[in-house]
Structure formats: structure tokens, C-alpha cells
């Protein structure tokens, strides 16, 4: 890979409250080697001949966005679950009908298209919370990790990095009911067998890492939580868990275990700085303290939480208690991390009827370095020397962003305003077009395959 230089009209540099004008960013072998604000540096300003080989990036350039919570196959459900009434549980029945249709080939096609849509939206790294492990009747494929391999390959085709969060999903309820029907393909029987399968999956490509996940306290019995947690701990990989998305989960956990899901996870060694709780929509005050004191991260998925009528989590309180925040598009009803980021602030306003809970810089942090850290990529998400050269450029001359000051871009831009995306020094999106995937055509074909 050769050295590359970009000249950003504005760039959001780490630790800055707002973007800086005219920043020269240089990279070699996929790593940032220099970040130079030209104004006041003594170096020539924009347009001068010596910068002739630099790629111009008009608009605002931010670090790569990390989508810390994805279920790729949910993309097939977009627009198909809005016809009637219902709640999370009725939505889940529709979701299961798509899950039942997938095999490694069709999942590769669907995930490739879904991840390419993410790349178009400026997402350079995805955390795939993956539990479609086996054939529909629960029989392992000849390669027991064929579905994981399909997702890793899909990310490579789409040009994004992936943390494959291999998910333990063993039971259908907090009571320990067995998996039935479409859930059978999720299960490995017990946590030890899950761990054996995960240990056998070692993607060789640099764009992929393997992490662990506990689907929820509904899906992993209390006595097996520590087995999953210790595997993640020994391997030094991220551990994610759906937590208190629904009040019903809290009620069931109290009825069976006499405590909240957060308390149960704490008692079994699941919480900690390598753990990310996804949603945390309905924590108690004590839960917020447990999460914060243990430095457990929280991944908020506001567009999904609104789509599924989950509720609004106490984002500010959790951040103040000590939980680093990240963002996920989860069900992909919307793939737009600008929308997720501003929703963290706007939902807090709805909840409290006050404005101004998060600064723009805090929202950018959650969307970039916060998400990458939650996915185990500690060297990504900042425009700083040594970090991975991930650059996402947002135009400031669209109908949505014209006249908006660069600091306000996260409150105005949509995914459609992303013009240029660089991942590990390689351009994946230019002029708003994915360079290798015809995203709308591939989405249409892949979704038709699993829904018709
Ligand atoms: Zn989820």
C-alpha cells in the first residue's frame, strides 16, 4: 500500500470541541502518519501547488463511524413490520420467519449488501451480534462456523472491518425453556459446546476479529453465564449482552432469580470494562451504578428502540455513572449513525423536557472511538497519528447541510450526505458511491431471496 494524503476542508480532531479548518492528513500502510492543521502551521494553505497530490475532501471529515450493534439479517425486515399494531414480541415473530430462510450463501449475499449500505453511511467497522449458527433444525453445518465465515466474508466484500460477536443462545426463557421452532438454529446445547465452536473459528483476514456475546438473561442460564464471560476474559475479547431492553425481561428475571438482569450479570462476573450492555433501556438506579462502577459500556440503539416501542434509556445518567457510550443500528430500520447520535440527545430531551445533555463532541465520540473501543479496535476512531486511517467525509453543501456550521453537522446531516469513506487507508466510497457493490440492486435481490 502506498502513502496517501488528504486535505480536509474541516476535520474533527480528537479532544476538540469543534472541527478544525484545512487539515492535511497523511497515511501509510493504512495508518495515519501525520495530521497537520495548515492554518498557523507555516505550511501552505489549501489550493497551493505543493498540495497538488492530496485528495481534496470538501465538507467535514470525521473518524470512521463504528456500528457497535448489528443483526445483519434484520435489514430484510425494513418496512415489512409496520402494517399493524404489536410490540417487540410480535415483531420478533416476523423476524424469526426471515431467520428461518437463511443459509450460508443467502446470508453472505444479504450481509454483503447490508454492510455495503453501512459503508455508504460512513460506517467503517461493524459489530455483528451473531446467533444464526446452525441449519434451521439445529443441525450444525459441515463447517459449524459456516455462517460466521459468511459474515466475515461479507464484511470484506463491503470494505468494512467486523467484530464477529459470536453469541451464546441456549434457552428460550429465563425459566430455561428449551429452544423450539426457528430458535433451534441459535443453540449449541450448552456454554461449553458454544465455547468449543467459537474457539475453532479463527478468521485470517486483518479486517475481522472474533468477540463473544450473551444473547440475554433469557437465553443463557445463570449457571452458564460465567463460562461465557471467562472465555471472553481469557481471550481478551469484547463481550456484549442485550440488557433490559424490555420491562418483561426485568420482571421475568426478578421472578426467577430475585434480582434484576444487571445484578445477575454482575454476580456472575459478566460486567467489566471489556463488556458492553446493549440497550440498557430499563435499568434501575442500582443497575446504573453497577454498570458505571464496573466501567461496563452501554451501546444505545435509539432508532431501533423507538421502532420497537422499547422506551428511552437513561443515557446521561449512565454516562455520568462511568459507562462509555457507543451506538448501534441493531435492527437496521434505519442505517444512519448521525440519526442514532443525535437521537441520544433528542430522546433525553423528550424524557426530561430539557435541552443540552450531550455536546456535539460527545456524540461524535460515541459514534467513533467509543464504538471502536467497544468492538475491540483500540487503534481506530480518532484522526490521530498511529491510528487506522479511517476517514468519513460529510458534505456541507446538500439541501440538508447547506449553511450549517461544521460543529452542527451531526444535528443536520443524514447518511445520504456521506460522500467519501476511507477504511484502513483504502477508499471504499467516493462521490457517494460504493466502489465495488451496487448497493440498491444487491439489497433488492438478497431481500427478495429470503422474503418471497
Ligand atoms: Zn440486538
CA of 345 to the centre of ligand 1 (A): 21
Q: What is the pLDDT of residues 205-224, one digit of tens each?
A: 999 999 999 999 999 999 99
The answer to whether 406 and 19 are in contact (CB under 8 A) is yes
Say which residue the cell 461524535 belongs to.
364
Catalytic residue among 330, 336, 390, 417: 330
Which residue from 191, 166, 189, 168 is spatially nearest to 178, judged by alpha carbons? 189
Q: What totals of helices (H) and strands (E) does the chain contain, helices first?
A: 14, 16
Q: What is the pLDDT of residues 285-301, one digit of tens each?
A: 999 999 999 999 999 99
Q: State how far the Cα of 303 lies from the Cα of 301, in Å rounded to an integer.
A: 6
Q: State how far the Cα of 81 lies from the Cα of 91, in Å rounded to an integer.
A: 7
Q: Is 148 left (phi over 0), alpha (psi -120 to 50) or beta?
A: alpha
CA of 200 to the centre of ligand 1 (A): 24
Crossing angle of helices 222-235/191-199, nearest 10°? 20
CA dihedral 267, 273, 277, 282 (to 10 degrees): 70
Provide the pLDDT for residue 49.
Answer: 47
Crossing angle of helices 439-451/104-120, nearest 10°? 140
Is 397 marked active-site?
no
Catalytic residue among 71, 215, 274, 279: 279
CA of 444 to the centre of ligand 1 (A): 23
pTM: 0.96
CA of 145 to the centre of ligand 1 (A): 20
CA of 278 to the centre of ligand 1 (A): 7
Give the chain's mean pLDDT: 95
3-state per-residue secondary structure call for 156-222: HHHCCEEEEEEEECCCCCCCCCCCCHHHHHHCCCCHHHHHHHHHCCCCCCCCEEEEEEECCCCCCCH
Q: Is 22 left (phi over 0), alpha (psi -120 to 50) or beta?
A: left
DSSP string, 46-106: TT-GGGTTSEEEEEEEEEPEEEEEE-GGGGGGTTSS-SS---HHHHHHHHHHHHTT--HHH
Is 279 marked active-site?
yes
3-state secondary structure of 338: helix
Crossing angle of helices 104-120/146-158, nearest 10°? 30
Burial class (CB in 10 A: 0-12, 13-18, 19+), 5: middle
Q: What is the pLDDT of residues 243-262, one digit of tens each?
A: 999 999 999 999 999 999 99
Q: What mean pLDDT comes out for the span 156-184? A: 97
pLDDT band at 91 (very low <50, low <70, confident <90, very high): confident
CA of 84 to the centre of ligand 1 (A): 22
Q: Is residue 42 scored above 80 in pLDDT?
A: no
Q: What is the pLDDT of residues 48-69, one digit of tens each?
A: 445 678 999 999 999 999 999 9
The answer to whether 258 and 217 are in contact (CB under 8 A) is no
The answer to whether 95 and 77 are in contact (CB under 8 A) is yes
Helices (H), 236-367: 247-257, 261-267, 285-293, 302-307, 315-321, 337-352, 360-365
Q: State how far the Cα of 286 lies from the Cα of 284, in Å rounded to an integer.
A: 5
Amino acid at each position: 500500500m502506498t502513502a496517501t494524503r488528504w486535505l480536509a476542508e474541516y476535520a474533527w480532531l480528537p479532544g476538540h470541541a469543534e472541527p478544525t479548518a484545512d487539515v492535511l492528513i497523511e497515511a501509510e500502510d493504512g495508518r495515519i502518519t501525520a495530521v497537520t492543521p495548515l492554518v498557523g502551521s507555516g505550511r501552505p494553505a489549501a489550493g497551493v501547488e505543493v498540495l497538488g497530490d492530496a485528495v481534496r475532501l470538501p465538507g467535514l471529515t470525521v473518524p470512521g463511524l463504528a456500528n457497535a450493534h448489528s443483526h445483519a439479517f434484520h435489514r430484510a425486515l425494513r418496512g415489512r413490520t409496520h402494517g399493524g399494531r404489536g410490540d417487540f414480541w410480535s415483531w420478533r415473530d416476523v423476524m424469526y420467519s426471515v431467520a428461518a430462510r437463511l443459509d450460508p450463501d443467502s446470508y453472505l449475499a444479504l450481509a454483503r449488501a447490508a454492510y455495503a449500505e453501512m459503508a455508504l453511511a460512513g460506517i467503517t467497522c461493524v459489530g455483528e451480534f451473531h446467533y444464526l449458527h446452525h441449519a434451521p433444525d439445529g443441525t450444525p453445518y459441515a463447517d459449524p462456523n459456516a455462517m460466521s465465515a459468511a459474515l466475515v466474508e461479507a464484511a470484506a466484500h463491503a470494505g468494512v472491518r467486523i467484530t464477529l460477536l459470536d453469541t451464546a443462545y441456549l434457552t428460550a426463557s429465563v425459566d430455561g425453556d428449551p429452544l423450539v421452532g426457528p430458535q433451534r438454529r441459535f443453540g449449541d446445547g450448552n456454554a461449553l459446546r458454544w465455547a468449543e465452536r467459537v474457539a475453532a473459528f479463527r478468521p485470517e483476514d486483518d479486517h475481522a476479529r472474533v468477540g463473544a456475546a450473551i444473547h440475554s438473561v433469557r437465553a443463557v442460564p445463570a449457571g452458564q453465564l460465567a463460562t461465557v464471560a471467562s472465555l471472553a476474559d481469557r481471550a481478551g475479547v469484547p463481550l456484549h449482552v442485550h440488557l433490559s431492553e424490555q420491562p418483561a425481561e426485568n420482571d421475568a428475571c426478578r421472578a426467577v432469580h430475585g434480582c434484576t438482569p444487571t445484578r445477575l450479570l454482575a454476580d456472575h462476573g459478566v460486567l467489566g470494562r471489556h463488556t458492553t450492555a446493549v440497550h440498557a433501556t430499563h435499568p434501575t438506579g442500582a443497575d446504573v451504578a453497577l454498570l458505571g462502577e464496573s466501567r461496563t459500556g452501554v451501546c444505545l440503539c435509539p432508532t431501533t428502540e423507538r421502532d420497537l416501542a422499547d422506551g428511552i434509556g437513561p443515557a446521561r445518567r449512565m454516562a455520568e455513572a462511568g459507562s462509555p457510550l457507543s451506538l448501534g443500528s441493531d435492527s437496521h430500520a434505519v442505517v444512519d449513525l448521525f440519526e442514532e447520535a443525535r437521537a441520544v440527545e433528542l430522546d433525553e430531551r423528550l424524557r426530561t423536557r430539557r435541552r443540552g445533555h450531550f455536546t456535539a463532541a460527545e456524540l461524535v465520540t460515541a459514534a467513533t472511538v467509543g464504538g471502536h473501543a467497544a468492538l475491540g479496535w483500540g487503534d481506530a476512531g480518532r484522526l490521530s497519528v498511529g491510528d487506522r486511517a479511517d476517514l468519513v467525509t460529510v458534505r456541507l453543501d446538500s439541501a440538508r447541510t447547506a449553511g450549517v456550521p461544521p460543529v452542527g453537522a451531526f444535528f443536520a446531516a443524514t447518511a445520504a450526505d456521506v460522500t467519501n469513506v476511507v477504511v484502513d487507508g483504502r477508499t471504499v466510497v467516493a462521490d457517494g458511491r460504493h466502489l465495488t457493490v451496487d448497493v440498491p440492486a444487491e439489497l433488492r435481490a438478497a431481500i427478495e431471496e429470503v422474503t418471497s
